[in-house]
């Protein structure tokens, strides 16, 4: 059984659009338009796309905060509409990091409060809260009032709150937003550890480097529809994106070749090839240079990024 499954999900919003100062007309925004997907257990699944594409709406439906206009979705085997209470018992959720907390309570007190709501004893909730404060890098800051927290600290507390009930599935909407590099790295490592321990992580992010390094599967959403899905490597393969092969030649002048050559960082010529067959063309370049009596210095193969995948998919 999949951790998350949905079919034919639709969610439309009716809004008023201003045509002139005195004239507004009704309009329909298709936030989700016939979305179907499946997420396996124990993986990191990322939903990416531009602002307004439907990412947050998708998270809200799967976490029972919104009811779809059509289609169905199951989380942990439970229907998100008919069995919403069961879904809420097995999930954790991070949306806006500054929402859902009591400003006059400390970080620790907020976590203990939510632990008690999930049925933990005061002692269990306190132990779990302290453990999560250390895990997310808040530590002694757990004794400070929430109103004193920076955006980054609030983001970390949001993740701690999402884990207070030991969920099977956690939904993270932009989990590292507002975090400094060291804190973001800590949270990324935590996400990896959660998935390695069997938890399913469903996340959204605009940080394509982060998505590429964390995700088992990536789905691209555009105007409410899933337009591409697969592992980062599979998406690059499907789009036949090019690699950049660079071979440094130990020579005082540019080598005799028809291939593009530039001066490298170390003061030696660098032969550069853009290709869909990096291994084959790397061997060819090295063989050609050695055949002409040149020594080879550094060799680098630059893989296409997930950002290039997103750019190409969204522009097509």
Per-residue pLDDT of the chain (316 residues; tens, 9 = 90+): 799 999 999 999 887 777 766 677 777 788 999 999 999 999 999 999 998 889 999 999 999 999 999 999 999 999 999 999 999 999 999 988 778 899 999 999 999 999 999 999 999 999 999 999 999 999 999 999 999 999 889 999 999 999 999 999 999 998 888 788 888 898 999 999 999 999 999 999 988 989 999 999 999 999 999 999 999 988 888 888 888 899 999 998 898 888 999 999 899 999 999 988 888 989 999 999 999 999 999 999 988 888 888 888 888 7
* Longest CA pairwise span in the chain (Å): 78
Query: Strand ranges (DSSP E) for 19-113?
Result: 24-39, 44-48, 70-75, 78-79, 91-94
Task: Quote the pTM value.
Answer: 0.82
Q: Give the pLDDT confidence score for residue 106 in this predicted structure.
A: 97
The token duo for 261 is 């050559």
User: In terms of DSSP H, where are the helices of 44-140?
Assistant: 55-62, 84-90, 107-117, 122-135
- Structural tokens at position 167: 């969920």
198 Rama class: left (phi>0) / alpha (psi -120 to 50) / beta? left
Q: How many CB atoms lie within 10 A of CB 135?
A: 18
CA distance 182 to 96: 21
**What is the pLDDT at residue 28?**
78
Can you tell me whether residue 150 is helix, strand or coil? coil
Q: How far apart are CA 2 and CA 12, in angstroms?
A: 26
Measured CA to CA, the distance from residue 309 to residue 208 in angstroms comes to: 10
In whole angstroms, what separates CA 216 from the centre of its chain?
10
């Amino acid at each position: 059984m999949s951790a998350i499954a949905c079919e034919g999900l639709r969610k439309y919003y009716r809004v008023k659009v201003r045509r002139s100062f005195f004239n507004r007309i009704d309009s329909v925004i298709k936030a989700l338009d016939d979305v179907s997907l499946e997420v396996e257990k124990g993986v990191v699944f990322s939903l990416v796309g531009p602002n307004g594409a439907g990412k947050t709406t998708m998270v809200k439906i799967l976490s029972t905060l919104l009811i779809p206009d059509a289609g169905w979705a199951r989380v942990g085997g439970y229907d998100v509409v008919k069995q919403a209470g069961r879904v809420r018992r097995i999930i954790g959720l991070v949306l806006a990091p500054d929402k859902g907390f009591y400003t006059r309570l400390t970080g620790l007190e907020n976590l203990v409060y939510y632990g008690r709501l999930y049925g933990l004893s005061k002692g269990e909730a306190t132990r779990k809260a302290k453990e999560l404060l250390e895990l997310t890098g808040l530590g002694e800051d757990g004794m400070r009032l929430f109103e004193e927290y920076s955006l980054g600290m609030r983001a970390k507390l949001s993740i701690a709150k999402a884990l207070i009930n030991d969920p099977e599935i956690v939904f993270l909407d932009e989990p590292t937003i507002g975090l400094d590099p060291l804190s973001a790295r800590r949270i990324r490592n935590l996400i990896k550890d959660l998935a390695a321990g069997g938890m399913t992580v469903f996340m959204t992010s605009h940080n394509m480097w982060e998505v590429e390094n964390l995700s088992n599967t990536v789905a691209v959403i555009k105007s409410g529809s899933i337009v591409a899905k697969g592992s980062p490597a599979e998406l690059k393969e499907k789009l036949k994106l090019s690699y950049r092969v660079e071979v440094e030649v130990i020579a005082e002048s540019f080598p005799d070749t028809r291939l593009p050559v530039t001066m490298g960082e170390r003061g030696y010529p660098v032969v550069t090839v853009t290709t869909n067959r990096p291994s084959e063309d790397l061997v060819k370049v090295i063989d050609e240079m050695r055949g002409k009596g040149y020594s080879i210095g550094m060799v680098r193969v630059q893989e296409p990024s997930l950002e290039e995948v997103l750019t190409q998919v969204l522009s097509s």
